[in-house]
Amino acid sequence: MARELRRLWLPPEQLQGDRWSLTADQRHYLQRVLRLKPGDRCAVIDGQGGLWTAELGDRDQLLPVEAVPVLPPAQPRLTLIQSLPKQGFDEVIRQATELGVTTIQPVISDRSQVRPEAQKTDRWRKIAIEASEQSERLYLPQLEPIRLWSEAIAQIPADSLRCICLARRSLPNLLPWLQAQPDWTELAIAIGPEGGWSDTEAEAAIAVGWTPVSLGSSILRAVTAPIVALSLAQAVAATRSLD
39 and 148 assigned to the same domain = no
pLDDT at 53: 94
Domain count, the chain: 2
The tens digit of pLDDT for each residue in 51-92 reads: 999 999 877 789 999 998 888 888 899 999 999 998 899 999
How many Å apart are CA 79 and CA 77, to the nearest integer?
Answer: 7
The tens digit of pLDDT for each residue in 106-139 reads: 999 998 877 766 558 889 999 999 999 999 999 9
Q: How many residues does the chain have?
A: 243
The tens digit of pLDDT for each residue in 133-191 reads: 999 999 999 999 999 999 999 999 988 999 999 988 889 999 999 999 988 899 999 99
6 and 126 assigned to the same domain = no
55 and 95 assigned to the same domain = no
Q: Among 37, 68, 99, give the residue marking a domain's end.
A: 68
226 and 117 assigned to the same domain = yes
Q: Which domain holds residue 205?
A: 77-242
52 and 93 assigned to the same domain = no
163 and 88 assigned to the same domain = yes
CB 110 within 8 A of CB 198: yes
The three-state secondary structure class of 170 is coil
The answer to pTM > 0.85 is yes
pLDDT at 153: 93
142 and 27 assigned to the same domain = no
